[in-house]
């Protein structure tokens, strides 16, 4: 496994896993509203005649577009932060990267931002969408747990 941002193999052991609460709840609501709107408009598409022939395939297509959009919204369920002896796993909407402890410099909230970021060498950082300020005390607990495990597993930098 390379030190900087290797894909997760799934064989790692994790001491702590954190999933966002507010982001998941909001994602469910938004996906539900998108599906409801596309379902209603899809079923009522031909309620009045406008001169254009609307078939069932048009209705199904509109509903399917709503399902695709809702599926994209539900990608927020993928975000998480995992911490263990092998390093830190950061999963965003698209994929997960695992950073070994020798490259991790810490986890912080930026002054102007909604999510934490994992600090790396050379002033680089990776956004951690799972740890957001909107989660309140849960996010604070996640930061404290990360710092405890960081102290436990990281080696002092020379």
Q: Distance (Å, rounded) from C-alpha 118 to C-alpha 2?
A: 17
Instruction: Give domain 6-20+79-153's CATH architecture.
Output: Roll (2.30)
CB 150 within 8 A of CB 106: yes
Name the pLDDT band for 30 (thresholds 50, 70, 90).
very high
Name the pLDDT band for 4 (thresholds 50, 70, 90).
low
Q: Distance (Å, rounded) from C-alpha 9 to C-alpha 1?
A: 9
Cβ atoms within 10 Å, residue 117? 19
Tell me: pLDDT of 2 over 50: no
| Burial (Cβ within 10 Å: 0-12, 13-18, ≥19) of residue 86 | buried
pLDDT digits (tens, 9 = 90+) for 69-102: 999 999 988 999 999 999 999 999 889 999 999 9
Q: Count Cβ neighbours within 10 Å for each residue of 2-32 and write b for 16 or more, e otherwise.
A: eeebbebeeeeebeeebbbeebbeebeeebe
What is Dmax (Cα atoms) for the chain? 76
Tell me: pLDDT of 1 over 50: no
Q: How far is CA 136 from CA 15, 86, 133, 143, 145, in A?
A: 22, 28, 6, 11, 15
């Amino acid at each position: 496994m390379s030190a900087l941002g290797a894909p997760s193999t799934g064989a790692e052991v994790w001491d702590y896993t954190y999933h966002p609460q507010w982001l998941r709840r909001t994602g469910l609501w938004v996906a539900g509203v998108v599906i409801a709107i596309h379902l209603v408009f899809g079923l009522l598409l031909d309620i009045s005649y406008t001169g254009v022939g609307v078939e069932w395939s048009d209705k199904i297509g509109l509903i399917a577009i709503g399902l695709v959009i809702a599926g994209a919204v539900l990608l927020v369920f993928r975000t998480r932060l995992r911490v263990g002896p092998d390093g830190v796993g950061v999963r965003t909407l698209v994929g997960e990267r695992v950073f070994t402890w020798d490259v991790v410099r810490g986890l912080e909230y930026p002054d102007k931002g909604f999510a934490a970021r994992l600090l790396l060498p050379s002033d680089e950082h990776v956004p951690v969408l799972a740890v957001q300020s909107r989660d309140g005390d849960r996010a604070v607990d996640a930061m404290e747990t990360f710092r405890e495990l960081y102290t436990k597993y990281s080696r002092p930098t020379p």
